[in-house]
Amino acid sequence: MAGRWWTWMRDPWLVAALVAGLVIRILPLTLFLQFECIRDECIYRTMAADIVSGQGLTLSEKGWLPSPGYPYLLAWSKVLFDSMQPVKLLQIFLSIVSIALLYAIGRELADRRVARISAFLFALNPTLAWFTNTMWIETTYIFFLVSSAYAMLVAWRTGRWGHAGVSGLLLGGAVLFRGVATYLPPFWILAAIYPLGDDLRPRAWWDTAKRRWKHVLAFLVAAVVTVAPYSMYASRTYGGFMVTDATVGHVLHLGNNDYPPLTFDFGNGMLTEPLYARWRATGRKFCDRTAPPVQSSQCEVEAALDWIGEHPGTFFARIPLRLAQMLNPNSFLTRHLRWGYWPGTPWWAKETIAVTIVLFSVSLSLLGTLAAWARARGPYAMMAVGTTAYTLLTIMLMYGMTRFRLPLEALWTVYLAMFLANPKGTLAALWASSWRLAGALITLPAIAVLICWFLPTGFPAFW
């Protein structure tokens, strides 16, 4: 492994991608005033301050309990540096490492050309770069997700179960930062036992599972060991069994109520507290927020299911809206620009960034999906496509935001790189498989329609 990485790091294109990624992540920190926090960032900061003061992990003002990783990360930053701002430097470092990991995944799946394009796409993605300058979970979560996927790819290629254990540790880290990762292990297990030679008959899966049961065991033990200590503590402390968070009830409440699913993106969200409160007043009230968070969340889940049972037509009619909210090609960075948080930025620069955001988002959603239909095979497909399908399902049940899409953009970057590296070959591979072609012809037009739903909201100067 060390030899492979040493060879890769001598690739001048990878070095250039790392340098470019570092520059566009460092510049905003040096050029613009850094705000203490915005919205949920403030919740994480408040919880971190409570940890530093000895109160442990406390509830947010909204009553929900997030995974512990990020509040504790901010708390450690405060203890070590007397400020939470240095966490942004750590996030920049993790994002730079993620660039190298995308390069490595490209090499595992294809060739050096795909690896180089993957590295540059991740390095220059404006939204992924900007999130390193915030106090949001996404940068750290993406690092754990991508590194875990890469470790499982190495385990599959080498046959060494130790790498599968490393993958489990890293995915456990992802769960500690975002509870949504709790349900990803089945896709990693499918990756571990993916048959050689793409023989997908049940017998081939069974034979591979018998040979690689140590991979599955090492992965599961490592993931459980990583998560279990906090899960046991939290289950005793917060009112019942939980893995790492108690937020699903809150999200179901906002997405399944008398008002439309509430989101917080520029042009289609509740961007001020008075507006948010006005919408909230038109729907059912929250459950008792003084109750332990696990019980409060369960109450919200039951209330949401009751509402869905009473309004099945409304629930299903809102599914396209929820998906459009997530596939909105603008981003939180668009909101940041429109709110004037980079003072002195000329009009043309703002519009250029806004257009670039859209180009990246649309390319990843459309061309990346096209390439996935054509070329998604092997263990990486189990993880990347599985994670994407699972995320889309949760969005269909709840509500969507553009930041929910960012981990998928990281995983989808390799597929976009495959298309850009060889568009004719990708189209030929798609054409050669009738069922893959049919899947692309069904999903791509639907994605295009959903993208256009909120596309104009990012360009107020143009529309």
Residues contacting residue 336 through CB under 8 Å, at least 6 positions apart: 130, 342
pLDDT in tens, 219-229: 999 999 999 99
Could you give the CA distance from residue 188 to residue 382 in angstroms, rounded to a whole number?
7
Q: Hey, is 259 helix, strand or coil?
A: coil
Let me know the angle formed at the C-alpha of 390 by 291 and 122, rounded to the nearest 5 degrees.
Answer: 110
Bridge partners of residue 73, in order along the sequence? none
CA distances from 219 to 67, 147, 170, 185, 212 (A): 21, 14, 10, 9, 11
Report pLDDT for 262: 80
Q: Hey, is 233 helix, strand or coil?
A: helix
Q: Out of 5-9, 148-152, 260-264, 321-325, which region has the weakest mean confidence (pLDDT)?
A: 5-9
Report pLDDT for 84: 93
Query: In the chain, helix, strand, coil percent, each to 5?
Result: 75, 0, 25
Could you give the CA distance from residue 9 to residue 4 in angstroms, rounded to a whole number?
9
Report pLDDT for 130: 95
DSSP string covering 88-146, please?
Answer: HHHHHHHHHHHHHHHHHHHHHHS-HHHHHHHHHHHHH-HHHHHHTTSS-SHHHHHHHHH
Residues 383-396, mean pLDDT to the nearest whole number: 96
Q: Hey, is 198 helix, strand or coil?
A: helix
Could you give the CA distance from residue 277 to residue 76 in angstroms, rounded to a whole number?
34
pLDDT in tens, 30-60: 888 777 677 788 889 999 999 999 988 888 7
* pLDDT category of residue 457 using cuts at 50, 70 and 90: confident
Q: Is the pLDDT of residue 406 over 50?
A: yes
Residues 155, 161, 162, 165, CA torsion sign? positive
pTM: 0.95
Return the residue matching tokens 């990783």.
Answer: 69
Q: Is 119 left (phi over 0), alpha (psi -120 to 50) or beta?
A: alpha
Could you give the CA distance from residue 123 to residue 20 in angstroms, rounded to a whole number?
7
Q: Is the pLDDT of residue 463 over 50?
A: no
Please report which helix (H) or strand (E) contains residue 299, including its range: helix 293-310
Report pLDDT for 214: 95
Greatest C-alpha distance within the chain: 63
Q: Is the pLDDT of residue 21 over 60?
A: yes
Report pLDDT for 68: 95
69 touches 173 (CB < 8 A):
yes
% of residues, the chain, pLDDT over 70: 97
Could you give the CA distance from residue 170 to residue 151 in angstroms, rounded to a whole number?
9
Residues contacting residue 59 through CB under 8 Å, at least 6 positions apart: 65, 293
Report the mean per-residue pLDDT for the chain: 92
Return the residue matching tokens 């060390």.
Answer: 2
Report pLDDT for 271: 64
134 touches 32 (CB < 8 A):
no
Report pLDDT for 1: 63
Q: How many CB atoms lie within 10 A of CB 167?
A: 30
Return the residue matching tokens 């402390």.
Answer: 237
Report the candidate in 338, 321, 317, 329 with the shortest Cα–Cα distance to residue 405: 329
374 touches 430 (CB < 8 A):
yes
Please report which helix (H) or strand (E) contains residue 417, including its range: helix 406-421
328 touches 402 (CB < 8 A):
yes
pLDDT in tens, 314-360: 999 999 999 999 999 999 999 888 888 888 889 899 999 999 999 99
Q: Out of 69-73, 143-147, 257-261, 304-308, which region has the weakest mean confidence (pLDDT)?
A: 257-261
Could you give the CA distance from residue 322 to residue 306 in angstroms, rounded to a whole number?
19
Could you give the CA distance from residue 404 to residue 406 in angstroms, rounded to a whole number?
6
Report pLDDT for 461: 54
pLDDT in tens, 241-285: 999 999 899 889 989 999 888 888 877 777 667 777 787 788 888
Q: Is the pLDDT of residue 195 over 50?
A: yes
Residues 388-412, mean pLDDT to the nearest whole number: 94
Residues 80-88, mean pLDDT to the nearest whole number: 93
pLDDT in tens, 86-124: 999 999 999 999 999 999 999 999 999 999 999 999 999
pLDDT in tens, 439-450: 999 999 999 999
